[in-house]
Amino acid sequence: MMPTVEDNRKTVVNTKKFVNDDTITSFITYYSYVKQIIKAFPVMESTPVGIQVKWNEINGRSSTTTYNFNYELACVLFNIAALHTQKAMNYIDEIPTLEKVQIALDEFKEAASCYAYLRQVVIQPCSHEKITWDMLESSLLGFENFCHGMSQMVVCVKADLAGTKPYGKCALMHGCAKMFRDASSAFATTGDSAVTYSKHCAMLADYCTARAYLYFCDYQKEAVEKTSRGCGLLVGEAKEAERLLTNILTAYPKPVVAPVQATVQNYVQQAHATYMNAVRMNRLYLEVDAKVEDFPAVEAKILHALGDPKIPDIQEEAFANMIPQLVVEALKRYHEYANGEIARGLAGLDAFNKAVTDKRAELHVEDAINAAQTKQGLPQHIWEKVQEAQSNSIEALEGKVEEMRECAKSVAESLNALMAEAREEQAEEETYRRSFPQAPIPIDILKYIQMIQQYTTVLSQAASGESKVEEAMKSVEAFKPFLQGTKESIDAQLPTGSVTAETASLLDDLRAVNDEVSKLMEDRAKKVEEITNMAKDDTAIRDELIRDKTVDQQGLFVRGFTPIAERLSELKVSFESQDSYLAKLESRLNAFTQAVQADPVVMERQHVFEGISNALRAQSDALKFVEEGTTFYKKLEEIVAGIRANFNTELEKARVARGPSMQQGGQPQYSPYNQFTPYGQYSQYSQQQSNPQQSTPQQYGQYGQYGQSQYGQYSQQQPGYMNQGYSGYNQAGSITCQMCGSLNHPGSRTCITCGKML
């Protein structure tokens, strides 16, 4: 195993740049080997295993040498991220197509994920090491934001190819600019070694801002043509875009600008042309050029949340046999012991947390606090919920409600029509049975009537779900004006005013207690996260087991678990004190509510905020109920269609079987039926025993010759046809038709009833 690892490391160390996907694969393989080595051996600087590693920084000017093998893991992951970046750059340099753009987008996202994981997890065990500048947390944050910004720039290229509207691309470019500014700030805090990277990211931020202004100019030009207003803003944005792009070519160092110089020059020309066209257009409107501070705020869109890098673990137990089996088994017992203790300590956690959440929602604490801030507009957290609700617009919800109702109506109509036809068939069957009581029953009409009644009952019971939808939609309609429009339009509808000194004091008390409850929940969540992470780390116990094979294992387990046990004790105190916190919160709220009873502005605002909160919940509930209801009705529609198909098939058989009874007065006219594909298998009805002197009535139609004589017509004067003109015909030797169940002469080739081959 170790020679394989050594060969793999030589390949990694000698690789200078991305060649093909095999380059990344070799790094990922070695990364997985290093993880397994760290998992199997103590590899910190304080307890080395004799493996010393050395890595140069990105510019090759300095290096770090250490026995801490975690640094090896970190440096390999850094290079994996760099290779993904190089691969993405290769695709960007080519003529863009949707396929190439998607590959570049995925590679930049993967690179950003690697840097994020490296910064947050992998480099942490090396924090006390004297590492190079590019492995500092601030530098890794800079690289992460750079790759994240580049991935979104690729999204903008994809948006161009897909024909996205200018305003959407403007928001994307502003998001790119923000990420590049964050990257520049991160590199700036690293020191002189990262100055060039900081300037490069600052240049990209200016470039993206200028591109955003140009996209906004496309949007604004359409607006001016429609409304004849805003031409001054168009001139101002084009002018600022040209200034930023020109400044890139003159203000930044040549090494920084060189890679993008040709691209920037092209956009300078485009910005100048846009500016001149805007100036010419403004001769009609004579508006003043807008200043940068007067530009409308465009929300910067940031897409693609980062995740863990897609690096698989290979040969998970590759190094397990390099440590004694007794240690492996002891660690397994420790984790069983630790997991059991943690499970007991965290029992009821979800119930305690839910109790706090439900109580705060029941008391409407946040709404009460927001209501008393009478000069404040709609709180940000409520506005974010409104924005989320606007993504599922009320009009779209109303359309789904109507779709659900139409589906229910269709099922009801199908069941009613089916029941009417089943009742009609029942009446015809009863009439037929009075004339021919011994005839077979080709259709069990009662079975269908019972099924139709059963599903009609199910349909009526579903009306309770529709009533929930109606109730939820009423809450939504009541506060519809507050769920639509911009934040400014909603703020304009809110009551404003001032509160008394007493109300302000009580408000401070209420806010303070509410913050205490929030901190209680935050501390609780942090402790749970700490406990989870501490339980995964068995390094100290593993090292002790390796050093001293005679150690008291149970005592070691208890000692190793002690820090986790302390956190569990703190959680228990949190659980026990919860009721007192909630009682204190309710007491402060009651005092506050009593004080503001005489304050109409506060009460009106509180009514509005509570109404908005209830309406948002109602909209979410209505959407859930509608989706469930539509799914239910569509499934019921399929079932009814299956019943209809069976019914039509068996009904046709029944009418064929009853044919002779109708021939004296002519063939009866039946109401037409739709054609359905047969649903399922149909069981054959058994032929009833009959008197040899009187045959079971069958259908008469046009039949072919049998021997030398033709079948006669059935009439009331001719009660049977069984022995007429035939010798030796009896039921004992008859042939039963598999299609309709009729009895036929032993020598028959076709059924005398339905004409099918026997």
- State residue 94's pLDDT score: 74
Instruction: Using alpha carbons only, give the angle 84, 88, 92 rounded to the nearest 5 degrees.
Output: 170
pLDDT at 374 over 80: no
All CATH 1.25.40.280 domain ranges of the chain, comma separated, are 1-164
Q: Which range among 79-83, 202-206, 412-416, 506-510 shows the weakest confidence by mean pLDDT?
A: 506-510
- What distance in Å separates the CA atoms of residue 561 and residue 541, rounded to the nearest whole number? 10
DSSP type of residue 10: H
Structural contact between residues 157 and 117, judged by C-beta atoms closer than 8 angstroms: no
Q: Please give the pLDDT value at position 1.
A: 57
* Among 123-127, 486-490, 529-533, 734-738, the least confident range: 734-738
More confident residue, 578 or 744: 578
Q: What is the pLDDT of residue 583?
A: 92
Name which of 21-30, 139-148, 710-719 the model is least confident about.
710-719
The confidence score (pLDDT) of residue 714 equals 32
Whether residue 179 has pLDDT greater than 90:
yes
Q: Which residue has the higher pLDDT, 402 or 467?
A: 402
Q: What is the pLDDT of residue 598?
A: 63
**615 or 509, higher pLDDT:** 509
Bridge partner residues of 735 (DSSP): 744
Cα atoms in the Cβ-side hemisphere of radius 13 Å centred on 461: 8
Tell me the CB-side half-sphere exposure of residue 106, using CA atoms within 13 A.
7
Residue 65 main-chain phi, psi, to 5 deg: -120, 130
The pLDDT of residue 729: 34
Q: Is the pLDDT of residue 202 over 80?
A: yes
Residue 176 pLDDT exceeds 90: yes
Sequence-distant (≥ 6) Cβ neighbours of residue 155 within 8 angstroms:
105, 172, 303, 304
What confidence tier does 601 reach under pLDDT thresholds 50, 70, 90?
A: low
What are the distances in angstroms from CA 112 to CA 20, 29, 88, 144?
20, 20, 12, 5
Grade residue 682 by pLDDT with cuts at 50, 70 and 90: very low
**pLDDT at position 82:** 94
d(CA 246, CA 226): 31
Least confident piece of the model among 97-101, 499-503, 536-540: 499-503
First-last CA distance in the chain: 75
pLDDT of residue 259: 79
Using DSSP's 3-state secondary structure scheme, residue 706 falls into strand
Q: Three-class SS of residue 301?
A: coil
Query: In the chain, where does the domain assigned CATH 1.20.120 lie?
Result: 323-363+502-598
Note whether 579 and 349 are within 8 A (CB). Answer: no
Residues 6+ apart with CB under 8 A from 249: 257, 261, 264, 265, 268
Calculate mean pLDDT across residues 632-660.
85
Least confidently predicted of 374-378, 549-553, 699-703: 699-703
Class of domain 1-164 as given by CATH: mainly alpha
d(CA 375, CA 499): 10
Q: How far apart are CA 483 and CA 390, in angstroms?
A: 7
> For residues 197 and 100, what is the distance between their CA atoms, to the nearest angstrom?
26
Higher pLDDT: 100 or 371? It is 100
pLDDT of residue 473: 75
Reference 110, options 82, 138, 91, 134; nearest CA is 82
pLDDT at 13 over 70: yes
> What is the reported pLDDT for 325?
73
Residue 324 has a pLDDT of 67
Closest of 446, 434, 443, 440 to residue 699, by C-alpha = 440
Model pLDDT for residues 396-444, shown as the tens digit of each residue: 777 888 888 888 889 899 999 999 998 888 888 888 878 887 777 777 8
Instruction: Identify the residue whose tokens are 């009514």.
Output: 607
pLDDT reported for residue 375: 56
Q: Which region, left, alpha or beta, applies to residue 364 given φ > 0 means left and ψ of -120 to 50 means alpha?
A: left
Note the pTM of the prediction, 2 decimals.
Answer: 0.46
Structural tokens at position 171: 């928001």
Asked if 374 and 605 touch (Cβ cutoff 8 Å), the reply is yes
Encode 189-214: b = buried (16+ Cβ within 10 Å), e = exposed. ebeebbeebbbbbbbbbbbbbbbbbb
Helix (H) or strand (E) holding 234: helix 231-251
Q: Which of 156, 510, 209, 168 is nearest to 366 (CA)?
A: 510
> What span, in angstroms and rounded, lies between the C-alpha atoms of 742 and 209?
86
- In CATH terms, 323-363+502-598 corresponds, of 1.20.120, 2.40.40, 1.10.3470, 1.10.287, to 1.20.120
**Whether the Cβ atoms of residue 612 and residue 478 lie closer than 8 Å to each other:** no
Instruction: Look at the block and give the residue holding tokens 């998607």.
Output: 102
Are 672 and 648 in contact by the 8 Å Cβ rule? The answer is: no
Q: Hey, what amino acid is at 569?
A: S
Q: List, by residue range, all CATH 1.20.140.50 domains of the chain.
A: 392-493+618-656
pLDDT digits (tens, 9 = 90+) for 708-719: 333 233 333 333
Report pLDDT for 393: 65
Q: What is the mean pLDDT of the chain?
A: 78
pLDDT at 99 over 80: yes
CATH class of domain segment(s) 392-493+618-656: mainly alpha
Whether residue 271 contacts residue 206, with contact meaning beta carbons closer than 8 Å, is answered with no
